[in-house]
Homo-oligomer: A and B are copies of this chain.
Amino acid sequence: MTARMSLKKLSTHLGLAEGTVSRALNNYPDISAKTRKRVQEEAIRLGYSANPLARRLATGIAEAVAYIMPESHSSISEPFVSQLLTGLGDSLSQRGWDLLVTQSVPAEDEPEMIRKLVTSGRVSGVVISRPHKNDARIKLLQSAKFPFIVHGRSLQSEDYAWYDVDSEKAFGDAVDHLVALGHSRIGFVGAPTYYTFAQARLDGYRNTLVANGLPSDDNLIQICELSDDGGERGAGHLLDADNPPTAILCTTDVQAFGALAAIRARGGVPGKHVSVIGYDGLRIGRHTNPPLTTLAQPQAHSGRQLGDMLLAIIDGGDPKNFQELRSAELLRRQSDGPVWTERVQQAAQPHLPQC
């Protein structure tokens, strides 16, 4: 590999001052069209491109944003991270910016990590996932007046940018759907409610229950961790109680996988004896036993969207103008069905809705 071309070499080669060449390359208006053309052509001919580190130091623009990895309690790799990063990378690469991935080290807490990140000047903005209802990171970034965007929302979400899916509404839809299928005892496998999304989904479940004239029974609610094991435990408790639910709503697909297992372990057939509905729309849900009915969020391009919005904010846009709420749709596969009774069973085999 030949010695890297520098501005200095390029400028002496062209017989121009460094500053002139720099301005020509950056399309300053005070450079004649002729020399600008000459400079730019020679630059690409010699394969010159400015050293990003030097440029960043000189301009004070980091040309990079950081994605804060969600804390991974249970070493469950988040299935959405890869997709989100791809989208983010797409968005940033159009501008030639870098995507950093960071996580807090065990020794220090996350706000401290973010504080260091922000003050270090390594990045121009950050995106965070899975905010808590009262998220210290968000407050920190707000008070620092640092550009950021949230994948999700906290309780007070008026003053910053976010991209979220209305999971409260989604869970309402799911309850309506189950009620329409005849269910009146609907269980809920929740996640720790310091997560905003966990609270929202619980609210959607509860509120829609009452809206349908059904009681909201706390015995039908289990809060457990965001893993298949968590879901299995939670659903297990529900099923083992007196007067168990005939349907179970789970906060995430991964939990729902565990719920399916819990039902099968007790000799039941999910979708027949007990309905299960998850949330996320993971493709992998097509392969569970039975295929999982789920609330599918349109996360195909959420990363792209987050990136574009963050860039707009870094460019000076008002964060308040970048708040996007998408909605999830019920994707019926085979884990939901009409409420099961002996009568129905004798009359006819309960039909399984098709995917």
Residues in B neighbouring A145, C-beta threshold 8 A: 1
Query: B72 to A287, Cβ gap below 8 A?
Result: no
Residues in B neighbouring A54, C-beta threshold 8 A: 57
Tell me if A156 is interfacial: C-beta within 8 Å of chain B. no
Query: A144 to B1, Cβ gap below 8 A?
Result: yes
Tell me if A354 is interfacial: C-beta within 8 Å of chain B. no
Whole-angstrom CA separation of A102 from B290 in the bound complex: 37
Q: How many whole Å from A277's CB to the nearest CB in chain B?
A: 15
- Give the size category of A's interface with B: 35 or more
Residues in B neighbouring A257, C-beta threshold 8 A: 284, 286-287
Query: B120 to A51, Cβ gap below 8 A?
Result: yes
Tell me if A89 is interfacial: C-beta within 8 Å of chain B. yes
Query: A105 to B120, Cβ gap below 8 A?
Result: no
Which of the listed residues A99, A122, A284 has the most CB atoms from chain B within 10 Å of its own CB? A284
Query: A93 to B103, Cβ gap below 8 A?
Result: yes
Q: How many whole Å from A1's CB to the nearest CB in chain B?
A: 5
- Write the A296-319 contact mask toward B (1 if CB under 8 angstroms, else 0): 000010000000000000000000
Q: List 7 other contacts, CB 8 Å, given A89-B103, A93-B102, A99-B101.
A: A1-B144, A52-B121, A57-B57, A77-B86, A81-B85, A228-B286, A289-B289
